[in-house]
Amino acid sequence: MTAQRQQRNQTGSKPLFRRVIAAIALTALLLPPVGAPAATTLRIVANRFSGLAIDGFDPVSYFVDGQALQGDPDLEATQGGVVWRFRNEGNRASFLAHPEVYGPQFGGYDPTDVARGVTVAGNPRFFAVVEDRLFLFSREQSRDAFAADPARYLRRAEARWPALEQDLPN
């Protein structure tokens, strides 16, 4: 490195570099975040970038069709601080009339993990409808264990859920 370049690197460019970094940092603090979580709550599992509950699957389809079906982006509703998608207007109306029935129990967290005292997001592809309630599981093994003895898991999960839910950010 030449003497001139060494001198320039020691004096001229570092203060300028530091000023540019400081300006970028200040701008980042003052501007609204881009790509920030769209959901306003963690009490219901939602994609942190899109704000979509259960990855855009129609919660009513689990009951009506017996399977996980993607909702239509043109048929959305906001409930509980997150965005839900539906396959048709009837499903949307049913959900809005009774979100406590059609929405996943424990906010979409895996009930087997809730029973253990931890919150792990359920995957909308691993589900069970038990006693007219929707449960989502983080993995297939959890769903199978739950299906073998739902009463045992539900008893434990229902006892632990209020404290876990309270600890989740609004």
Question: Which tens digit of pLDDT belongs to each residue from 88-132?
Answer: 999 999 999 999 999 999 999 999 999 999 999 999 999 999 999
Please give the model's pTM, rounded to 2 decimal places.
Answer: 0.75
- Residue 3's pLDDT is what? 56
Closest Cα partner for 107 from 167, 161, 148, 52? 161
What's residue 73's pLDDT? Answer: 96
pLDDT of residue 39: 39
Are β-strands 123-130 and 82-86 bridged in parallel, bridged antiparallel, or unpaired?
A: unpaired
| Of residues 13 and 167, more confidently modeled | 167
- Predicted pLDDT at 5: 52
Neighbours of 86 (CB within 10 A): 27
Q: Distance between CA 170 and CA 82 in Å, rounded?
A: 11
Mean pLDDT of the chain: 84
